[in-house]
Amino acid sequence: MSQYRILIDANDEKGLVHKVSSVFYGFDLNILSNSEFVDKESNKFFMRSVVDGDVNKKELTKAVKEILPEGSSVNVIEPKKKNIVLMATKELHALGDILIRHEAGELEANILAVISNYDTLESLVNKFDIPYITISHEGLERLDHETQIIETINSFEDVDYIVLAKYMRILTPRFVEAFENKIINIHHSFLPAFIGANPYKQAYDRGVKIIGATAHFVNNNLDEGPIIEQDVIHIDHAYSWQEMQRSGRDVEKVVLSRALKLALEDRIFIYANKTVIF
C-alpha cells in the first residue's frame, strides 16, 4: 500500500467531484484527505486528494484525465524527498533556518547545493556537509554569470525547487523561464510599498508600524509572481532602520520556511499569477 497525492485542475463543470471520486473508487483507493476549490471568476476547479492504495500511476493519471474536460491537468505524486537548490548572497538568517530544519528532519527535501555569488556563507554551509558553490559575478556580464548558474543547476538531476534565501541579484527572464514555477523567493514587504534602494530606510522615514515579508514564486515581473505566504510583525518609533531590518529578518525566515514546506508537500496550485493552497 502506498500513499499518493493527486492534484487536479480543470475547467469547472457539474459532476467533477463525482466523476473523479468514481475513478478513485474504481482503483480501490481510500481517500485520506480531500480539498476542493472552485474559482468562480475564472471557472477553474482545483482538487488535491491524498489517497492510499496500490496503483499504476500512469494508468490512474490516464483514467482521471479521460473523465475531465479538455485541457485539464492531473498530477499523481508519490511523496518523497524533493531535490532543492538554495541560492544566497551574504545574509544567513533565511538560509540558516532552512539548514536547521533540514538537519532536524522537518523538510521533505534533499539540499543538493547552496549556490552563492560570494563565499561568505561557505563555512556555515560546509558544517552541514552540503556542497557550497561560489559563482562570483565579478568581472562577468549578467548573462554570463547566469549561464554559469543555470549550468550548475542543470548539472544536478531532477531539481524540483530553487529557493532564493536572500539571493540579492536580479534574475533575467531567461533564468526565470528556464525554471518556470520552480523558483521561490522571499522579500520584505511594507505598507505602503517602497521601491528602490534601502527600503528599510524608506520605511523608517515613513514611520511604518508594521514590517512584513512575502514568499512568492518568481516570474518575469520582479517581486510580482504568485504569492505563497505573507506575514508581518509590529514595530514602533523606537526602531532604527537597522533594528527594523534585524526584526524583518525574523519574519522573512519564518515566511520562507513555511512557503517551502507548502511546496514540498505539494499543496500549491499556480494559476492566473496567484496560488490556491490546500
Which of the residues are catalytic? Answer: 223
18, 80, 158, 196: which one binds its own copies (CB under 8 A): 18
* CB closer to its own copies out of 126 and 155: 126
* CB closer to its own copies out of 143 and 272: 272
CB of 191 to its own copies, least distance (A): 4
Cell numbers for 104: 532536524
* CB closer to its own copies out of 84 and 225: 225
Q: Are 85 and 113 in contact (CB under 8 A)?
A: yes
The residues in 142-201 that bind its own copies, with binding defined as CB under 8 A, are 189-193
* CB closer to its own copies out of 85 and 212: 212
Q: Are 17 and 36 in contact (CB under 8 A)?
A: yes
Q: Which residues of 16-30 are buried (b: 16+ CB within 10 A; e: fewer)?
A: beeebeebbeebebe
Q: Give the type of residue at 8.
A: I
2, 3, 32, 222: which one binds its own copies (CB under 8 A): 32
* CB closer to its own copies out of 169 and 187: 187
* 124 lies in the binding site for its own copies (CB under 8 A): yes
Q: How many residues bind its own copies (CB under 8 A)?
A: 72
* 35 lies in the binding site for its own copies (CB under 8 A): yes
37, 118, 156, 179: which one binds its own copies (CB under 8 A): 37
The residues in 83-122 that bind its own copies, with binding defined as CB under 8 A, are 91-93, 96-97, 99-100, 103-104, 106
How many degrees, rounded to 5, is the angle at CA 65 between CA 59 and CA 66?
A: 90
CB-based contacts of 85: which residues, under 8 Å, 6+ apart? Answer: 111, 112, 113, 114, 115, 153, 156, 159, 161, 162, 163
118, 120, 128, 150: which one binds its own copies (CB under 8 A): 128
CA 199 to chain centre: 23
Q: What ranges in 159-277 are assigned the alpha helix state H?
A: 173-178, 199-206, 241-264
214, 219, 263, 264: which one binds its own copies (CB under 8 A): 214
* 236 lies in the binding site for its own copies (CB under 8 A): yes
Instruction: Sort 258 into a burial class: Cβ within 10 Å, 0-12 / 13-18 / 19+.
Output: middle
How many degrees, rounded to 5, is the angle at CA 62 between CA 161 and CA 226?
A: 30
